[in-house]
Amino acid sequence: MVNIKTPVIIINSKAYLESTLDNEVRLVKICEEIRNEHGVNIMYAPQMVNLAYIAKNFNIPCLSQHVDAIEPGAKTGYTSLESIKAAGAIGSIINHSEHVITFREAEFIINRAKNLELIICACADNINIAKSLAALNPEMIAVEPPELIGTGIPVSKAKPEIIEKTVEEVYKINKNVLVLCGAGISTGEDVKRAIELGAKGVLLSSSFVKAKNPREKLLDLISKI
C-alpha cells in the first residue's frame, strides 16, 4: 500500500483559461513553494496538455485529471496509464463528475495502475458510488456532490453528513482507502471542518485556480491543518 501523507490537498485545475500553460506555470510555482515552505502534502492535477511539462519542471506530485481504460496502442486521442507515468505523473483522478467512466473502466484502471505503481483518486458523486469504488481498492476516494462544485458553498458546511457517512461506509468495506471530499472548498475553515468530519484531505479547484490572489488563497486553505 502506498503511503500518502495526510491531510492531502489535491488541486484540480480543470480546463479553465486560468490554467492554460503560462497561467498554470504561475499556479504550480505557488503550490511548489508553499508545499516546500509548509510541508503540506499538496498534489496538483494540471490540464492534460500541460502534464509532462509541469511534472518534469516542478517538484510537486502531479496527477492527471483523467486517464482512459486502454492498453497502449492504436487509440487515437486516448491517454493510457503508461503515458501519464512516462510524463511524470504519480497517478490519476478518475470518474470526476465532469468526466465519468463506467465501473468496469474504473476496475481496469485501478488494477492496471497498481501494476504500474501509480495511485488513483476515484471520485464519487455520492455515498453509494463511493462504496462501489471502495471495493476496487483505489488509494483515495473523493466524495463530491456535483451540485456544490464551483459554487463556493463548501460540502463540509452544506452537507457534512455526506462526508461522515462516506467515511463510515467506505471504511466498513476497505480500511486502506483514504476518503477525501470536495466541492466548494474555499477557506482554511472549510478544510479544517472536512478533516474534523473524518476526511483525510480535500479536492479543490475554483477557489484557488480562479482566485484574484492564488498565493494568499492557498495559504488560507492550508492555514488550519
Active site residue ranges: 96, 144
Q: Which is nearer to ligand G3P, 88 or 146 (CB)?
A: 146
**Residues 196-215 within binding reach of ligand G3P (CB under 6 A):** 203-207
- Nearest approach in angstroms of CB 149 to ligand G3P is 4
Contact call for residue 187 and ligand G3P (CB under 6 A): no
Cα angle value 34/123/98 (rounded, 5°) = 95
Among 88, 150, 188, 198, binds ligand G3P (CB under 6 A): 150
Among 46, 61, 184, 214, binds ligand G3P (CB under 6 A): 184
Question: CA separation (Å) from 89 to 8, 53, 76, 77, 125?
Answer: 16, 11, 21, 18, 24
Q: Which residue is nearest to ligand G3P (CB)?
A: 206
Contact call for residue 185 and ligand G3P (CB under 6 A): yes
Beta bridge partners of 123: 142
Q: Tell me which residue of 133, 125, 121, 119 sits closest to 170, measured CA to CA.
A: 133
Asked if residue 7 has a cis previous peptide bond (ω within 30° of 0), the answer is: yes
Contact call for residue 144 and ligand G3P (CB under 6 A): yes
**Residues 10-49 within binding reach of ligand G3P (CB under 6 A):** 12
Pairing of strands 201-204, 8-12: parallel
Q: Tell me which residue of 211, 203, 225, 220 sits closest to 44, measured CA to CA.
A: 203
Q: Would you tell me which residues interact with ligand G3P (CB under 6 A)?
A: 12, 96, 144, 149-150, 182-185, 203-207
